[in-house]
Structure formats: C-alpha cells, structure tokens
C-alpha cells in the first residue's frame, strides 16, 4: 500500500504544481485567472487568484514533505473548488476553466467529475496512511512514480478528453 501513497503523492503534487504554475507564470496569466472569478467583487479577484495559486503551491510542497498535511490541504482545496463550481453552475455562471492555463472551456459537470476523481486519490492516500503495508522499494517506486505522473497527465487533459467524447457522441 505504501506504493499507492507514493503514486497518490506524485499525482496530486503534479496536479497542483501545474495548476499553480499556469496561474503564476506571468502577470497576464494571473490576471486572466482572476477575471474568471466573477462571483467575487472586482477588487477581491486578484488577491483571491494569488491566494489560490499560493494554496496550490502549499498543497504540492507539503504533499511531498509531510503527506498527512498535504493530503488534508489537497482535500480542502478540491472541496472548495468543487463548491465554487457547483455554486457557479447553480447560479448560471459558466466562467472558463483556467485550472491548468488559458482555456475557453466553461466550467461544468465534467470539472466536478475530475475533482471527484482527485478526491478519490486523496482518500486512497489517507487509506494508505492508515494501513501502510510493506515498505517502499526501488522497484515499487519505479512503478508508482510513472503511474502518478500518467494519472496527473490524464487528469490535466481531462476536459479536452471529455470535449472529444462529447463531440464523438454528439456526431453519431
């Protein structure tokens, strides 16, 4: 089970690093993300965007150094993001998802599904903390790290995959 924790740590850390980097890579990127926070008053958007990116960095950093705190921070962020999406959808707002960089794809149910999958990864990480199992081995790391990286890559491109499936199913 310890290898499952490593895969979970890698997956969540990569998700949050990529998400934070997409917001912090330039002033324009941060302002672009802030503009999507339409439920907030104008003056609060830029500080909220910066705080979001800082929390993502904190989640990734603590994930690798102290997994219990990293998992807790990740879970709280994902729940907050999911609540934000749900409230936005309920209010009829369809801001673009800039979770991983500039995107025109509006927030929607697919983003709640992605966050649900990420919350399952958090739960899996917690389960491995409670039931650690065998110690981590080099061979196990050789499998766990690429699995975490592949999972992160798939979840990062999740909206693109979902859009592709929607196009395919809509055209048949």
Given this model, what pLDDT does residue 157 score? 85
| Cα radius of gyration rounded to whole Å, the chain | 17
How far apart are the C-alpha atoms of 64 and 66, rounded to whole Å? 6
Closest CA to 67 of 8, 144, 19, 108: 8
* pTM, rounded to two decimals: 0.87
Other C-beta atoms closer than 10 Å to the C-beta of 138 total: 6
**pLDDT tier for residue 126 given thresholds of 50, 70 and 90:** very high
In terms of C-beta density within 10 A (0-12 exposed, 13-18 middle, 19 or more buried), how is residue 133 classed?
exposed
Tokens of 149: 């990286």
In tens, the pLDDT along 47-102 reads 999 999 999 999 999 998 999 999 999 999 999 999 999 998 888 877 777 777 77
* pLDDT attached to residue 170: 65
Sorting pLDDT into bands at 50, 70 and 90, what band is 111?
Answer: confident
Listed residue (99, 114, 105) closest to 22, CA to CA? 99
Per-residue pLDDT at 172: 46
User: For the residues 12-35, what does the mean pLDDT come to?
Assistant: 92
What is the arithmetic mean of pLDDT over 138-165? 85
Q: How far is CA 56 from the centre of its chain?
A: 8
Dist CA 30 CA 157 (whole Å)? 20
Does 158 score more than 90 pLDDT? no
């Amino acid at each position: 089970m310890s290898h499952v924790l490593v895969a979970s740590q890698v997956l969540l850390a990569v998700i949050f690093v990529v998400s934070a980097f997409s917001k912090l890579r330039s002033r324009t990127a941060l302002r672009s993300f802030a503009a999507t926070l339409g439920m907030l008053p104008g003056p609060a958007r830029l500080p909220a965007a910066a705080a979001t990116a800082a929390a993502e960095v904190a989640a990734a950093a603590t994930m690798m150094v102290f997994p219990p705190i990293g998992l807790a921070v990740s879970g709280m962020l994902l729940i907050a993001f999911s609540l934000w999406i749900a409230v936005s959808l309920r209010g009829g707002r369809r801001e673009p998802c800039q979770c991983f960089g500039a995107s025109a794809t509006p927030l929607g149910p697919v983003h709640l599904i992605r966050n649900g999958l990420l919350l399952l990864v958090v739960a899996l990480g917690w389960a491995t903390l409670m039931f650690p199992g065998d110690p981590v081995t080099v061979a196990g790391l050789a499998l766990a790290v690429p699995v975490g990286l592949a999972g992160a890559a798939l979840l990062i491109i999740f909206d693109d995959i979902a859009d592709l499936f929607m196009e395919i199913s809509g055209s048949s």
